[in-house]
A and B are shown apart, each in its own frame.
Chain A
Amino acid sequence: MIEVRNISKTFGKNRVLDDISILFEKGKTNLVIGKSGSGKTVLLKSLVGLHEVDKGMILFDERDFTSMNFKQRKSLRKEFGMLFQGAALFDSYTVEENVKYPLDMFTEISYAEKLERVNFCLHRVDMDKTNALYPAELSGGMKKRVGIARAIALNPIYLFCDEPNSGLDPQTAIRIDKLIKNITEEFDITTIVNTHDMNSVMEIGDKVVFIFEGLKCWEGTKHEILKADNRYLNDFVFATNLTKTLKKVQAKKEK
């Protein structure tokens, strides 16, 4: 469980996060949605300490991250797994070395055990037999999947995914979404996913938080989101013709 209490973040005069409080629940995929530039990435990076917040508190299962020093943060971060918007695989390492890296750095297990773990993680994301490839040889979707494999290598307790399916075709996108949801439920971890994709919301949104211009504008579940009467949320949710038509059909049915 991750609890965010009244955090704010400004860059110069640009107020990106404005007094946001959210409770991200354990064993659920928590979605943060909002249009491009609304502050999703900044929120995620603030949670993990890549940005310092100006005020507010971030608690990881009651442990106050904001008041920790460098060393304490480092040790807490061993419980984090993060998938970046651009996957952020290490260019000079192969797929195998990428996934093995956290194991090399933080575990004492033997090479054979590491390899077994790497292969398990790669299998989990459907990337068997790609061990010897370099990131430059992978497609965007494959990179993201390897990124997920690397993020789960050390059995994280908290998983952060920044737009895991942006720029992917709908089928691959859904596959990655489902993968994240399965991992979350299987290992009972706290997962936060940034997205602006309504498909993902309807697919895996156990809990959804809508960010608008740095404010938390709405929160609820995927079932509630279609019936919500928040204007900004509706503009966001029903931005495409497909969703608009769906809504009309739904309305007709109800009559």
Chain B
Amino acid sequence: MRLFYHLGRYYILISKVFAKPERYKMYYRQTLRELELQGINSIGIVVIISIFVGAVITIQTNYNIENPLLPRYLIGVGVRDMLLLEFSSTMVALILAGKVGSSISSELGTMRITEQIDALEIMGVNSASFLILPKIIATMLFFPLLTIISLFVGMGGGYLTALITNVSTPQEFIYGLQYGFYPHYFTYALQKMVVFAFLITTISAYHGYYAEGSSLEVGKSSTRAVVQSCIFILMFNLILTKLILD
């Protein structure tokens, strides 16, 4: 029963969010702010994690193809496909759920309990739309870019590791990165990320927007936002993989 209540309220919120903006200029300004806040400020963490994961995949793939019959360039193939298929979209989305999701829900939660959202409503502003739509646009535009960044930085990390540890020659590694590349995988990764961006932003916004009570509750609602975002990312990962790759 609680599930239906939340689904209904989520649906109402989303339909309020997608009402026609009353003033495009204000929305535009707000979207730029969100691009910086949710997007540009997330590049750092994505870069760091991607380098390390690229490096680790290189080493692990090397272990798995110890057999001298297997060509060395498979390491490059492995790094590319792991990043492309799962890491740079799903795993990066999980990380962003932690960073961006908690920031969105605590921002909105604080605005709710300090009556800032009421203040907007009183002025005659559609607060849901004004506060949430720019975040949705910003994340849906920028997160796919983070996927691309993660992909390249991850491959770079793998390449460096291959060089340093000598598991394959640079030529072999680069050859592997290009070997049997399906452009379709790339669009698959980007499509997933666009959906994940929508999930993270709307789920976190939902929990923040309807926060009530004290600052303690804001903390709890942001934890709920992150946990539920993660669960929905994993669920949709399964569904989208079945839909897009099959």
A, B bound: yes
Among B26, B114, B115, B121, point to the contact of A105 (Cβ < 8 A). Answer: B26
| Contact indicator A90/B124 (Cβ below 8 Å) | no
Q: A75 — which chain B residues lie within 8 A by C-beta?
A: 124
> What is the chain B residue whose CB lies nearest that of A74?
B124
| Contact indicator A105/B119 (Cβ below 8 Å) | no
Q: A101 — which chain B residues lie within 8 A by C-beta?
A: 123
| Contact indicator B123/A77 (Cβ below 8 Å) | yes
* Complex CA–CA separation, A50 to B23 (angstroms): 23
CB of A98, distance to nearest CB on chain B (Å): 10
User: Chain B, 99-140, contact with A by CB distance < 8 Å: what is the 0/1 string?
Assistant: 000000000001100111011011111100000000000000
User: Chain A, 71-109, contact with B by CB distance < 8 Å: what is the 0/1 string?
Assistant: 000111110101011101111100000000110111000
| Contact indicator B118/A105 (Cβ below 8 Å) | no
> What is the chain A residue whose CB lies nearest that of B113?
A86
Q: Known contacts being A91-B110, A104-B23, A105-B22, is A78 close to B115, with CB within 8 Å?
A: no
CB of B15, distance to nearest CB on chain A (Å): 12
| Contact indicator B121/A50 (Cβ below 8 Å) | yes
* Complex CA–CA separation, A90 to B118 (angstroms): 11
* Complex CA–CA separation, A77 to B127 (angstroms): 13
* Complex CA–CA separation, A120 to B199 (angstroms): 44
Number of contact residues on B: which range applies? 10 to 19
> What is the chain A residue whose CB lies nearest that of B25?
A104
Q: Indicate if A201 sits at the interface (CB-CB under 8 A).
A: no
User: Chain A, 47-89, contact with B by CB distance < 8 Å: what is the 0/1 string?
Assistant: 0101000000000000000000000001111101010111011
Q: B111 — which chain A residues lie within 8 A by C-beta?
A: 90-91
| Contact indicator A88/B115 (Cβ below 8 Å) | yes
| Contact indicator B122/A48 (Cβ below 8 Å) | yes
CB of A3, distance to nearest CB on chain B (Å): 20
Q: A86 — which chain B residues lie within 8 A by C-beta?
A: 114-115
* Complex CA–CA separation, A93 to B1 (angstroms): 40
| Contact indicator B124/A88 (Cβ below 8 Å) | no
* Complex CA–CA separation, A74 to B125 (angstroms): 7
| Contact indicator A102/B123 (Cβ below 8 Å) | yes
CB of B107, distance to nearest CB on chain A (Å): 8
Q: B122 — which chain A residues lie within 8 A by C-beta?
A: 48, 50, 77, 80, 82
> What is the chain A residue whose CB lies nearest that of B30?
A92
Q: B116 — which chain A residues lie within 8 A by C-beta?
A: 88-91
* Complex CA–CA separation, A80 to B123 (angstroms): 7
Most chain A C-beta atoms within 10 Å of own C-beta, residue among B26, B33, B121, B123:
B123
Q: A78 — which chain B residues lie within 8 A by C-beta?
A: 123-124
> What is the chain A residue whose CB lies nearest that of B22?
A105
> What is the chain B residue whose CB lies nearest that of A104?
B26
* Complex CA–CA separation, A77 to B123 (angstroms): 6
What 7 pairs across the A-B complex have the smallest Cβ distances?
A77-B124, A88-B115, A88-B119, A84-B115, A74-B124, A82-B122, A78-B124
Partner-A contacts on B (CB < 8 A):
22-23, 25-26, 33, 110-111, 114-116, 118-119, 121-126
